[in-house]
Structure 1
Amino acid sequence: MDGPLADVARRWTALGASDPMWAALTDSGRGGQWDAGEFLRTGRAEIDAVLDLLRRRGCTPVLGTALDFGCGPGRLTAGLAAAGFERVIGVDVSPTMLEKAREVLPTELADRCEFVLNTATDLSVVPTDSVDLVYTCRVLQHMPPTLFRGYLREFMRIVRPGGLAVFQVPAGPAPGLAGAPVRLLPAPVLTRLREGMQMHSASPAEVSRLIADAGGVTVAIEEDRSAGPRWSSHLYVTQAR
């Protein structure tokens, strides 16, 4: 493994060793302040909200196999299993994040969750047409465009025909004063302020075009706040043809 993915892996392996739950969800303070139970409850609440959105958009997924891309400490992996998916695969580039995920996973969900280390720029660890739902949030935003474009194509490959890939991507800095620091400060300064977490964005037009080129269709583009107040962000509901 080399190039941009190696940089991502080093950064997130270090964060996984120091404070994995905070790195995955910075709503709580730095320094191990997350309670594991509360951390996992936020994942179940997020998954419940996503499934409700999909129902309202007329595309309820089959509760078969789900993939949590960039699973980190397993917050959403556990949430997907608790919501009723028969099998959930959590994929991450960081062994330290996966170690934490296995540690905090509730015993009653262990037989339905699998954590896989993936150090490739594709998802060849997952067979074609084998997944009913891909979900990822607060992950693609930390990947350089060359990486996240490739993973979007892979989402469309691994999802069964009619299956769904739901993912979040920032569109750019928020308008007005909220996004001013992102527009004005040099990228290296912003990365240091975020303790090494880089941020990247793509326009809705670009994302929709990538999905179409990969053989999918964009069902809905929803406003999203996962990237924080300094970014305009969207949640994409996409479907494999």
Structure 2
Amino acid sequence: MKLQDLQENWNKFGEQDPLWGILAWPDKSQNRWEIDAFFATGVAEIEEVLAYLERLDVQVAREAALDFGCGVGRLTQALAPHFRVVHGVDISPAMLALAEQYNRFGDRCRYHLNEADDLGLFADGSFDFIYSNITLQHMPPRFARAYLLEFLRVLRPGGVLVFQIPSAPRQKWRLLLQPLKPTRLWRLYRRLRYNDRPVMEMYCIPKARVLRLLRAHGARVVDVQPDTSADAAWISYRYCVTR
């Protein structure tokens, strides 16, 4: 699977059912999200994350933040009252067009299309805080690993990274599908089964591998805890990391 395939899939969500594509609550499909209620979930999530960091006694400078996988800006806007500037990055032009449309914070929220498997549009040490939730789980692990290393590169010394990714499926048979999903054969199957509809595919990286990757590249892992953001069929974790 190429990033172009991911972009095509998520652009379809952006065109057909963008808010549900971001927050897939069962009763909100087919464009049944009410916009204020949708964005209120982002405010609640960021308040919880900042309270979590406070409990860990982790100090965060409030200059620049990055929302990776920003979609229509649900979390970008929620971060804006807490930082001087927040950059939202996404692979879908359709999602980003809506993010600009919904933006209530002017230049404090800045949105970027990123079609590469790196964050080359940002210099080293650009951000005090990086947050990514329910995004890395929707891409093959080779892309997720590459972005994790890029998070460390663009994080300032003393900066804080919080991200979520599933570690394993609760049902072992799902693990057998992981190597198939990025293949051409799987894409053909998906096209035949779903036609033009987007598909919300899930991937994972075992917790032990995530920790090895982070530590091998100089990160300090402050905390790892079970997380419920992913589908209930997956064992998922939230990681808090500093440089």
Q: TM-score with structure 1 length normalisation?
A: 0.89
The 2-side partners of 1:36 and 1:214 are apart by 40
Count of aligned pairs: 231
Q: Partner of 2:50 in structure 1?
A: 51
The 2-side partners of 1:92 and 1:112 are apart by 17
The 2-side partners of 1:181 and 1:110 are apart by 47
1:103 to 83, 86, 101: 101
Q: Partner of 1:126 in structure 2?
A: 122
Where does 1:50-199 land on structure 2 (aligned, <5 Å)? 50-82=49-81, 84-106=82-104, 109-174=105-170, 179=171, 182=174, 195-199=198-202
Q: Partner of 1:5 in structure 2?
A: 3
Assess if the C-alpha contact under 8 Å between 1:220 and 1:237 holds in 2: yes
Identical-pair percentage:
40
Aligned pair in 2 of structure 1 residues 160, 184: CA closer, same or farther (>3 Å)?
closer
1:23 CA displacement: 0.2
SS of the aligned residue for 1:165 comes to: strand
User: Root-mean-square deviation (CA), in Å?
Assistant: 2.1
SS of the aligned residue for 2:159 comes to: strand
SS of the aligned residue for 1:232 comes to: strand
1:228 matches 2:227: no
Assess if the C-alpha contact under 8 Å between 1:87 and 1:112 holds in 2: yes
SS of the aligned residue for 2:58 comes to: coil
1:180 CA displacement: 6.7
The 1-side partners of 2:23 and 2:172 are apart by 23
The 1-side partners of 2:44 and 2:174 are apart by 29
1:64 CA displacement: 1.1
Q: Partner of 2:242 in structure 1?
A: 239
The 1-side partners of 2:76 and 2:10 are apart by 18
The 1-side partners of 2:66 and 2:214 are apart by 17
1:4-48 deviation line (CA, Å, top 9, x unaligned): 211111110111111111100011421111111111110010001
Q: Aligned letter for 1:228?
A: D
Assess if the C-alpha contact under 8 Å between 1:216 and 1:239 holds in 2: yes
